Amino acid sequence: MSEMTPQTLIDFVYGEARMLDEQRFEEWLGLFTEDGHYWMPLSHGQTDPLLQGSLMYEDTLLLRVRVERLAGQRTYSQQPKSRSHHLLQQPTIETAEAWHDPDSGRYAVRAAFLYTETRRDQQTHYAGWSTFQLLAQEGALRIHQKRVDLVNCDSALRSLQLFI
């Protein structure tokens, strides 16, 4: 498999954040592999989403349910809809990650972020970093796992309506 360029990987991460901010959730869901996961650990340094509690650990089925809920007309917690903004530090290719193996089309990319979610007169801010496990499939990148580590993951958190 031919290696993706660093700029292709960086552009993918920026594009993924833009899809979320533009609420293109169906298109965003299409970025995941069939066995993909969205993971938000509950503690710093957490290594296992199954044997340790997580804020979120959702496969594509649960992500689809969430996306459909966001699009629903009877989702009263989204009347009016929440909005979000991702401010990303330039993503870096994490070559030391065990997942990273360009020869097999596997890449690890990390980006620090500031995230703002707003609805009506309430605005919430989160900071952290996202680590993507990306697969090159049929010439396109797909998300095998998106891990979102919040700086304050072990604090009492407000309900997240959208995706970081």
Whether 122 and 161 have beta carbons less than 8 Å apart is answered as no
d(CA 114, CA 87): 5
Q: How many CA atoms lie within 13 A of 112 on its CB side?
A: 4
pLDDT at 82 > cutoff 60: yes
DSSP state of 24: -
Weakest mean pLDDT among 19-33, 60-74, 117-131, 144-158: 60-74
- Specify burial of residue 105 (Cβ count, 10 A radius: 0-12, 13-18, 19+): middle
Which CATH code fits 6-150?
A: 3.10.450.50
Look up the pTM and report it: 0.91
Q: What is the pLDDT of residue 1?
A: 45
pLDDT at 143 > cutoff 90: yes
- What is the average pLDDT across 126-134? 97
What proportion of the chain, given as a percentage, has pLDDT over 90? 70
Interacting residues of 42 by C-beta distance below 8 A, sequence separation 6+:
52, 53, 54, 55, 153, 154
